[in-house]
Structure 1
Amino acid sequence: MPRTGKKAPPQAIRRCGLTFREDREEAIRACGHARALLESAGTEVFNLEQVLDGEPVDAVLSFGGDGTLLHTARLMAPRAIPVLGVNFGRVGYLCAVSEQQLAEAIDILLRGAYRLDQRAMLRGVVSNRREEVWQVDALNEILVGGSNRTLTLELTIDGEHLGTIIGDGVIVATRTGSTAYAMSAGGPATMLECTVIVPSNTINSCLMAPAVIPITSEVKIRNLTRVARPYAIADGQKDYQIEHGTEVQIVRSPLTVSFVDPGLVSPAAKLSKSFGERRA
């Protein structure tokens, strides 16, 4: 049975973690309001530091935008703690709840009337002469690029050498990341669990268009560029500079992220919102 998209038995939230984007006053206020609602219902509330120190919780609420939620989700993935995003960003495609829906969402959590949406992650491994030198897990995408020079990258999928990509880089994204950077680079949005490969601003490419492959596939990208050192960048935040001849292996991570879905917005409506924001 697939690990992703699987409904889990609902569990009433009795212990809850809270975190917020510190430079957004409205997010801080809403977090305080959520604390009051939860505590008035008898739910124990903890801050993010307490959760990271090992305090067991049923879920963590993240107040901010998609960036705040991504950061929180990556921290919770090794702990198998579900995350709910409350949107105070511009797009907030990953956030399941708006500020106006907060009270309704908390009531749903307290009743256990939500579902868990499990999302696959990617694991990137950088190797040099068969020695692993860096490893990272990403929820959205792993980019090989980030240089101010044209790159030459060798692409291999499931052991089959496809050729080279000459351009700004290559984005390897999950279905979660298909509506983020990969979409802005011309990739498809998908609600199916898969891996999306998007060459970025290419001069010449073995891929004539973005490719959609099984999430179980292995992608290898080798840096053949002699005059530039690109980066392997995970979710736009964690990076590692790649030497000439160094290979980045990208596979499905053993970790998953669980998003709390209170059912207030349909997947199709979220997708429509994402397209609308990019047209604006």
Structure 2
Amino acid sequence: MRTIALLPHIGKPKAVALARSLVPRLLEAGVAICTSPEGAQVLPSSQVCHDTETLHSAEAAIVLGGDGALLMVSRLLYGLDIPILAVNLGRMGFLAAVEPDELDEAVGRLLAGDYSIEARMMIEARVWRDGRCHSAHPALNEVVIARGTFARMISLEASIDNSTLGHFIGDGLIVATPTGSTAYSLSAGGPVVHPAVNAMVVTPICPHSLGARSVVVRGDDEIRIRAETLGHDDELLLSVDGQPGTRLSVGDEILVRRARAVTKLIHFGERTFYDVLGIHLRNPHVWRHGREETAP
């Protein structure tokens, strides 16, 4: 392996410290190191390449942070086919392959090629305005169409292949990937879907209906969402993977479908999806840094 992207969450001191500690290890192994514009703020320019072209040619990326950091990197490297090794420094750790105390061994195995790659489905939301594609937003977890700051319900219509899926009155609508089924969609009452399943989950947010439920649809379906009613002062926002929302206009149509690219995650086979899920189900309130802890 000739080039590795080192991508710490610069807001986490431990992530920065771990990233800096990896620099001499990788250089000693003859590996060139690159980073993102954010990583350039905390990693030495004399030892780490900061240009975008080198980042885009990396053979692997090491992400140090929580699940949110990995979500950000999945969009940063979208379409580049770069596998990602995620190191958990957050609370949930659903997506991370290793913990900080396992990092040394993991890097050794990465350099030796002793790992497997899991492809995770991504989705893309395209905003159509005045008959043209106004913007496109890839997501690893979910796309959310929701009301803004005013505490008023919105009415959304979702359809698949010209068939109406439903009319949803409430705070909004989530379209999640199998990976995202354990995130916001789960909190809103959606099901857990194994990441290998080719599907999307449509979950209403606080629906004003006793009959509104999540729906699991095919991964190859195209979901069209539009606002049926929107007051003069109301806001409608599109957000992907928990990022700040993009304001939508009256008449906009949102098309959500499977993305052309996937996120490739590096794994070493020690923990399966069911292992991680089981820990969360058994101890939903005492999960920290990828470890089960005894409640106080």
- Answer whether TM exceeds 0.5 for this pair: yes
Partner of 1:232: 238
**Is 1:174–2:177 an aligned residue pair?**
yes
- Determine which of 198, 203, 220 is the counterpart of 2:208: 203
CA contact (8 A) 2:27 2:33 kept: yes
Within 5 Å, give how 1:186-265 maps onto structure 2.
186-191=189-194, 192-204=197-209, 208-227=212-231, 228-265=234-271
Partner of 2:107: 106
- Determine which of 148, 155, 158 is the counterpart of 2:158: 155
Within 5 Å, give how 1:1-280 maps onto structure 2.
13-49=1-37, 50=49, 53-55=52-54, 56-147=57-148, 148-191=151-194, 192-204=197-209, 208-227=212-231, 228-276=234-282, 278-280=284-286
> Matched residue pairs, number?
267
Larger mean CA deviation between 258-267 and 97-106 belongs to 258-267
Q: Distance in 2 between matches of 1:174 and 1:208?
A: 19
Change (3 A) 1:38 1:276: farther
Q: Distance in 2 between matches of 1:269 and 1:158?
A: 37
The percentage of aligned residue pairs carrying the same residue is 30
CA contact (8 A) 2:168 2:212 kept: no
State the Cα deviation string for residues 167-212 of structure 1 (Å, max 9, x = none). Answer: 011100001111111111111111123101111100037x632111
Larger mean CA deviation between 168-177 and 220-229 belongs to 220-229
CA contact (8 A) 2:220 2:258 kept: yes
Q: Distance in 1 between matches of 2:209 and 2:225?
A: 16
Q: Distance in 1 between matches of 2:89 and 2:282?
A: 17
Unaligned runs of 5+ in 1: 1-12
CA RMSD of aligned residues (A): 1.8
TM-score (norm 1): 0.89
Partner of 1:7: none
Q: Distance in 2 between matches of 1:172 and 1:46?
A: 34
Kindly report structure 1 stretches of 4+ aligned residues shifted beyond 6 Å. none
Unaligned runs of 5+ in 2: 38-48, 287-296
CA contact (8 A) 1:219 1:251 kept: yes
Q: Distance in 2 between matches of 1:255 and 1:238?
A: 23
Change (3 A) 1:184 1:264: same
TM-score (norm 2): 0.84
